[in-house]
């Protein structure tokens, strides 16, 4: 099959039971209507997975210990120890981002 955009050869991949055609030239991904419906169904199932339960401990009870104060942050306009814009895959507070449905489907 030839790519409708650039005319290069298309390669077919099977990912999670869905056939995906990808162009070897422009790297475009092409789906027919049935494949698009299957992807929408898989995404819906993936996004409805239960969130993990909150950690034990929760909010303090009446009469319990007072919450601890947060440590002082840097002064307004102070440098962030060279970390600004260098969060990578772990986000600004060190927590790992949940991978997207598309990343799980299209990553090899």
pLDDT tens digits, 32-62:
778 888 888 888 887 777 566 666 666 656 6
Please report the pLDDT score of residue 11 as a whole number.
Answer: 92
Tens of pLDDT along 16-33? 788 888 999 999 988 877
Cα 107 to Cα 36: distance, rounded to the nearest angstrom: 18
Range of the domain at 11: 1-46
- Predicted model pTM: 0.42
The answer to whether position 8 is within a domain reads yes
pLDDT of residue 13: 87
Inside any domain, residue 79 = no
Q: How many domains does the chain have?
A: 1
In-domain check, residue 10? yes
Answer whether residue 2 is part of any domain.
yes
Read off the pLDDT of each residue in 7-12 and give the average, rounded to a whole number.
92
**Could you tell me the maximum CA-CA distance found in the chain, to the nearest angstrom?**
72
Contact 92, 81 (CB under 8 A): no
Under 8 Å between Cβ of 21 and 4? no
Query: Which tops the pLDDT comparison, 79 or 41?
Result: 41
Residue 20 lies in a domain: yes
Examine residue 11 and state whether it is found in any structural domain, yes or no.
yes
- Which residues in 17-51 are b (16+ Cβ under 10 Å) and which e? ebebbebeeeeeeeeeeebeebbeebeeeeeeeee
């Amino acid at each position: 099959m030839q790519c409708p955009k650039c005319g290069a050869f298309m390669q077919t991949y099977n990912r999670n039971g869905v056939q995906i055609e990808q162009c070897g030239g422009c790297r475009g991904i092409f789906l027919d209507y049935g494949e698009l419906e299957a992807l929408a169904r898989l995404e819906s199932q993936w996004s409805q997975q239960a969130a993990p339960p909150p950690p034990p401990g929760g909010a303090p009870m009446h009469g319990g210990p007072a919450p601890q104060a947060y440590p002082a942050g840097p002064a307004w306009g102070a440098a962030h120890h060279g970390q600004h814009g260098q969060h990578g895959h772990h986000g600004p507070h060190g927590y790992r981002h949940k991978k997207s449905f598309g990343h799980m489907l299209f990553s090899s």
